[in-house]
Structure 1
Amino acid sequence: MNELKMLEQLDRIEKLVRAQKAVLTFDQACDYTGISRSYMYKLTARGEIPFSKPKGKLIFFSREKLDNWLLNNSHSSKDEIKRGAVEYTFRNKRF
């Protein structure tokens, strides 16, 4: 493995370790979610993502709240929809 690949891999590992913290800085939250910095600023300015600003300057994020926010608008797969429809029809039989 050449030196450049090793450095890139080490950088990814560092980011993963930092992301295990309960509270993330702005840059760490961007790395953790994969959201660009400019879009993250837009989300915080609009109040569309949960964040904290304890001293009015620095922005912090709860990793748990970020996870919930990322999974907030989940979409069911076709199989899940079919399963739900079958369960609904069995529960609501009308004879």
Structure 2
Amino acid sequence: MESNVILQKLTQLEKLIIGTNKQIFTVDDVVNYTGFSKSYVYKLVHNNIIPYSKPNNRTLFFTKTEIDEWLLQNKSKSISQIEKEAANYVNSKK
């Protein structure tokens, strides 16, 4: 039983390592890279929420850089970042 778990984790790590070196992802690569389920990735594609390409109206492809940018959009600032910006703003108005 333990050996199956170890093999499963090694396979998962191998997919992650290989996937992060690629610049063009398939749906399976996006699933491994983000941890999202395959059905969720297809839902994001269907609703045009995630950037993708579909040459010949067949296979879905994603670029790693666009996935990274999409994942990091709508970033929330920490309280210390907001306080620093406020202090800089107040100091610049003096």
CA distance in 1, matches of 2:6, 2:85: 47
Q: CA deviation at 1:4?
A: 2.6
1:46-57 matches, cutoff 5 A: 46-57=47-58
- Residue 15 of structure 1 is matched in structure 2 by 15
Q: Which runs of 5+ in 1 are unaligned?
A: none
In structure 2, the residue corresponding to 1:59 is in which secondary structure? coil
- Residue 86 of structure 1 is matched in structure 2 by 87
Moved more, 12-21 or 76-85: 12-21
What code does the residue aligned with 2:91 have? F
Deviation beyond 2 Å, 4+ runs, structure 1: none
After TM superposition, the score normalised by the length of structure 1 is 0.87
After TM superposition, the score normalised by the length of structure 2 is 0.88
Q: Is the 8 A contact 1:18 1:28 kept in 2?
A: no
Q: CA deviation at 1:51?
A: 0.4
1:1-95 matches, cutoff 5 A: 2-19=2-19, 20-93=21-94
What code does the residue aligned with 2:74 have? N
Moved more, 13-22 or 76-85: 13-22
CA distance in 1, matches of 2:13, 2:31: 15
Aligned-residue identity in percent: 37
